[in-house]
Structures are given as C-alpha cells and as structure tokens.
Structure 1
Amino acid sequence: MADNPTVPRGARTPWQVTRSVWYAMFMREAISRTMADRMGWFWMIFEPVAMVGIMVAIRSFIRGDQLVVNAEFIPWLIAGLMGFYLVREGMIRGMGAVSGNKALFAYRQVQPVDSVLTRNFLEGMLRTFVFLIFIVGGLMLGQDMYPDNAIRVMSAWFSLWCLGLGLGLVTSVSATLVPEVGKIISMISLPLLIISGVILPLNSLPHWLLEYLMLNPIPHGLETLRLGFFENYHVVPGTDMLYFWMFTLTLISLGLLMHLRFVDRLKAS
C-alpha cells in the first residue's frame, strides 16, 4: 500500500489516532462500568425483572393482557421495557459522560464528544447482552420470546440505540453547561416511561390524546420492535419509522453541532 503523502513517515493518520482514543476510552468505561461496582450487573438485570414482576402483579387486577391485541403480555412488556431502557440509559449515561472524563481532556487528542460516543456504544452493548439474556430466559420459561421477524427486531433495536445516542449528545452538552437541565431530565424519566406506552398499551387512549403522545419518537420505535416479535400485532395508529428517524437524525446532528460549538467550554467546565 502506498504511503499517504499528506502524513509524515512514521506518523499516525487522524483516523488511527481517533480509533486509538475510542478504544482506550471504551476499555476504561467498560472496566469502570462492569468491575468498579460489584452490584452493577445485578442491577442491570434486576431492574427490568422487578418491573416485569410488578406489572404482572398489577395485570391480575386490571387484566392488561386483554388490551394487547395478538401479543402475549409478558413478552410484549419485556420488549417495551428493554427498548425504553436502551434509550433512557443512552440519555442518562451520556449526560454524565463529559464530567466523568474531564481529566482526559488534558490530552489534545481527546474531545468531549468521544466520551459520549464510547459510553453510548458500551451501554448499547451491555443492554443488548441483557436483552439476549431475557430472550433466552423467556424461551426457557415457555414465553413466546422468539421473534417472528428477527431483521425487524434488530433494525428497531438499532434505531432505539441511535435515538439514545442523539439524546445523549444533546443532554451531555446541556447538562454540563446548565446543571439544572440534568435534574429536570432525571425527573422526567418516569413520566416518559408511562407516556411512551412501555407498561400499558396506548391503543385504548382517545385519538385526540394519542396524536399528542405520538409526537414522542420512543413509541414509534417500541411498537416496531414489538411488531418484530409478533407479526400480527396491532401497532398503535400513527406509528411511523420515517418520523422516528427524522427526529433521531435531527437530534444527532444537533448534538454534534453543540459539541463543536461549545467544545472549549465543555473542556473548561
């Protein structure tokens, strides 16, 4: 392979430097995330298990399974919870990425955006692994967790992953420059779970209210994810992945622009 005339002999290309930075930051985040806290893996698995158990108990009183058309309630709930946690953790973990890696910005090769990208990638991998555990565990317990359309499931999962990245890019800048924003974002996490149709289906809501709730992109991704598991599932009216991706790409673009614009303030914060 011919040498790149723009790069001095023996020097690394910008892509090689960036790749080395990402790898080093990824390994640092992975060790911190999985080994620093002995209960880290336990809480990643226990939180959705506890939520599923609580909702199954509530179902026995309100018969929520009768509101889900052509889908078993427990697999439907697990898919929604895991998809929502993927987005939420991308947003929450990204929000603390800049402050958590502040010491590394003394190296000119390391940029604040690198911390968000590597942290989101790690979180997505961990959530994917936990989701696979739930799928295998559900199948062993006799639940219908085998997807009818695996390609659609993977596509919807990747889409939700990207939405979490977009939110993380935006919140990482906003919460670092204005700390009050981080508190507000943490407060809206539970209401967002409810209005996203994670624990109860949105189909039973009035049409006028559903029009406003579907402005939230998360239900679009969750309903598509569930459709991949149950091919005859009746998705919420108005589900549109084109709208989802327009929203997601706008967030990613906005987040990258914010990092470019406020890079010096993020390093100095």
Structure 2
Amino acid sequence: MFDIFSRGAHGTERSPWDVTRSVWYAMFMREAISRTMTDRMGWFWMIAEPMAFTMIMIAIRGYIRGGRLIVGAEFIPWMIVGMMGFFLIREGMMRSLGAVESNQALFAYRQVMPVDTILVRNFLEVMLRTLIFLIFIAGALMLGMDITPDHALRAMWYWIALWALGLGLGLIVSVAGSMVPEVGRIVRMINMPLLILSGVIFPLNNLPHWLLEYVMYNPIVHGLELLRVSFFDGYQVIHGTSGTYYGMWALSTLALGLLMQMRFRDRLKAK
C-alpha cells in the first residue's frame, strides 16, 4: 500500500514531505475506517460512555447538592466541559499504548515510522472528540442549558492545548509501554485516580489547602480550569492556575516524547 508513495505518477522522485503526507493520509483513512466502521457499536460507545458518566454524576450531584459548591458556573455544563477535556487527554494516552504493536506489519515499508502511528491516531482522536463535544453542546442547548463558550477562540486554543498534552503523554507511554509492558498496566490503573485528582467530577477548592498545593502539581488541573473559564466568564478558577505552567508541561512532554521516538525508533520497528 505504501510503496507507491516513494514515486510520483510519472515515476519521478517525491520529496520527503510529500511521502510523509501520503503515508499519514493512508494511515489516517485506515485508522478512521477501523475505528468507526469495523465495530457496528463504535459510534454508540463513543457517545454513550460520556453520556452515561454524566448521568451518573448528575444523580450523585442531586444527592450531595454539589452544584452549590461551584461559583460562576452551573454544575452540569461545568462537569461536561471538564469531562470532555479530560477524556481528550486520556484517550491520547490510551490510544497510543497499543499503536506501535497493532501497526507492526506496516513497518515493513521503510516510509512508515513508529511515530507516525501515534500522530495519526491522536489526530483522529481529536477530530472524533471534537465532534462528540459539539454533539453534547447541541444536546445541552436543546435541554435549556447554557454551555456555549463565552470566549470561543480562547476555548479552541485550550482545547488544542489539552490535545497537545495528551499527544505528548501518548508519545512517551507508547515507547515506555512497548519496552516495559508493565507501564501499560500502570497507565490503565491510574485513570480513575487521575480523573478524581484532576477536578473533573467535583471542585478541588473544597480540598484542604495543604492537599490542594500538591494536587496543583498536576498539569491537567490547570488545563481543565483554563478551558472552563473560557466557557464560563464568571467562573472562579482554582487559586494558582497557570497557563505558563501548563504550557511548559505540554511542550516538555511533546519534546521528550519525540526524542524518545527518535532514540528507540529501530527497537520499536524490530519488536
């Protein structure tokens, strides 16, 4: 499938960028078809998972009255925004874990590199998650909930920034998980604790100050708070939220992930 990309239609040599674009396009179509059409329930589960999670948390909120604890935002829209942002990062990590192994046969083509599988999967993921987010926004508006962003451009920027962190973490765990299988198990185990400690389902302002200081080392908290304040102009973010801190984490993970992909490229292809 990929050997035709080394040469153009008339047998002329193509530039490395042209070859890379062709490889990414072919892999993207392959991943998109596999993700959305192979499993008849694929689309259903992509929408049903966050919907079921939202309904469960609404029921819990009705019991503990958690909505009173959030200043400047309604509980349900607040949670939906945070949940979608967290799922974007989470799926960036989880989808990257098995990307190298599941595409091992493609490495027989010299044009395909292990990093390509991560980049393509994460690009497809952000497109799907964005579509699902828009569906949730439309559904919430029809139910009378105001979930439109007060600062649309800023919301798009932070959405991309959350995706960048997920991509960086995905690049790292894909290499680490291929080298040490136990890493994959650890990443899967920390999903639920990370969801709680990132302030997805309840406001972290209720934590004791000494504990909140440690929780704020988690960059996901900063990313979700910045996304929320772009949706709800009156929302009071957690004290200490920093876009600079989050940006340093996103750029650092991207740089480290790309360096690891380059350093262990041959070992990943030979596995």
TM-score, with normalisation over the residues of structure 1? 0.96
Matched ranges for 1:51-62 at <5 A: 51-62=53-64
Q: Secondary structure at the match of 1:236?
A: coil
Q: Distance in 2 between matches of 1:241 and 1:93?
A: 26
Per-residue deviation, 1:207: 1.5
**C-alpha distance in structure 1 between counterparts of 2:38 and 2:218, whole Å:** 35
Partner Cα distance (1:212, 1:123) in 2: 30
Letter in 2 for 1:49: M
2:37 is aligned to 35
Equivalent residue for 1:108? Answer: 110
Shift of 1:47: 0.8
- Could you tell me which runs of 5 or more consecutive residues in structure 2 were left unpaired when the two chains were aligned: 1-10
Question: Which residue of structure 2 lines up, in the alignment, with residue 267 of structure 1?
Answer: 269
- What one-letter code is carried by the residue in structure 1 that aligns with 2:222? H
Counting matched residue pairs gives 261
Instruction: Report what 1:10 is aligned to.
Output: 12
1:157-176 to structure 2, matched below 5 A, reads 157-176=159-178
Of 238, 241, 255 in structure 2, the residue corresponding to residue 239 of structure 1 is 241
Task: Return 83-92 or 206-215, whichever deviates more.
Answer: 206-215
Q: Shift of residue 194 of structure 1?
A: 0.3
- CA distance in 1 between counterparts of 2:231 and 2:264 reads 42
C-alpha displacement at 1:204, in angstroms?
1.0
CA distance, structure 2, for counterparts of residue 132 and residue 203 of structure 1: 28
Cα deviation digits, residues 51-93 of structure 1 (max 9, x gap)? 1111111111111000110100000010011000000000000
Residue number in structure 2 paired with 1:87: 89
SS in 1 for 2:205: coil
Q: Which amino acid aligns with 2:51?
A: V
Q: Which residue identity does 1:228 align to in structure 2? A: S
> Aligned partner of 1:138: which letter?
A
In the TM superposition, what whole-angstrom CA distance separates every residue of 1:221-260 from its partner, at most 9, and x where no partner exists? 1111110111010001111111111011111111111111
Within-5 A mapping of 1:1-269: 10-269=12-271
Q: CA RMSD in A?
A: 0.8
Once residues 208 and 240 of structure 2 are traced to their aligned partners in structure 1, the CA distance between those partners, rounded to angstroms, is 13
Measure the CA separation in 1 of the matches of 2:42 and 2:213: 38
State the alpha-carbon separation in 2 of the partners of residues 70 and 238 from structure 1: 18
Give 3-state SS (helix, strand or coil) of 2:160's partner: helix
TM-score, normalised to structure 2, is: 0.95
Letter in 2 for 1:184: I
Question: Gaps (5+ residues) in structure 1?
Answer: 1-8
CA distance in 1, matches of 2:48, 2:230: 25
CA deviations over 1:178-218 (Å, ceiling 9, x no partner): 11100110010010000000000001111211111111110
- Match for 1:259: what amino acid? Q
For the residue of structure 2 that corresponds to 1:203, the secondary structure is helix
Q: Distance in 1 between matches of 2:179 and 2:41?
A: 31
Name segments (4+ residues, structure 1) moved above 3 Å: none
